[in-house]
Amino acid sequence: MNADNINSDETVIKVKLSGEDYHDIVIDWTDTSQAYEQQVFSRLAEISGIPVKRTYDMCFLTGIYRGVWLRNKRAEPELSSDRYLLPQIGFNKEKVLNFTNGHEHFGLSPRLQCDDNKHFYICYFLVPERSLDEIECTRHFCHYSDNRVFLNRLKAIVTNDALQSQMAHLLVRPRWPFFDGLNLFELWFDTYRRFNVMQYYYRTCYLYHILQKQKYRSRYVPPQLYMRTHG
């Protein structure tokens, strides 16, 4: 981390989608009008074109299986899921400089998230530059999914109130669990397939599946992405 960032009243984080230049996210530590992390959510909304209210959370990845998670306090409708809510940190200058660990450049990996309230939101994974490759996909960053074209498809789902209203009455409870071997599948997957959103909800990167197969071996079975009657 450079000295200017340590002593400055502002911290600059740079993020980019595959195929684009970096975008600056400026955190003004003198602005106490809102929680500091909301500045980041607002800037991510400008970059993605998806409103803050349709944002679920963001995660700064700090290792292969570790990350710092921050939930959006301004989501609408209000978020209700808490089953997988990981411990949250106080988002302040000291902690941000600590968990970014000198890596101000991140790949931006947007993901589709459906809350227990039956609404879709966007969530953002910020992948440190050391975990990126300019050409090849890595464990946490996929050039086929983490680009503007794919993001716009996620945006079309997240901002489509009519679609979500049609889906809501089919998203029955309980949502969890359904186990296939060691894999936990949602009971809502059938509805995602029916409305042709499963392939956007579930990451389909080839490398991801290879890594999952290495982890679970023969017990790993990826979920079906489409209805059997489609195509």
The full set of domain ranges for the chain reads 3-136
pLDDT digits (tens, 9 = 90+) for 62-91: 877 788 889 999 999 999 876 555 556 678
Give the pLDDT band (50/70/90) at residue 220: very low
pLDDT at 184 over 70: no
Q: Return all residues near 191 (Cβ < 8 A) that are at least 6 apart.
A: 167, 170, 171
Residue 43 is classified by DSSP as H
> What are the φ and ψ backbone dihedral angles of 67, each rounded to 5 degrees?
-165, 160
Q: How far apart are CA 95 and CA 93, in angstroms?
A: 6
CB 119 within 8 A of CB 155: no
Q: What pLDDT was estimated at residue 99?
A: 79
pTM listed for this prediction: 0.84
pLDDT digits (tens, 9 = 90+) for 22-68: 999 999 999 999 999 999 999 999 999 999 999 999 999 987 778 88
β-bridge partners, 114:
120
Three-class SS state of 162: helix
Strands (E) across 146-200 are located at 178-180, 183-185
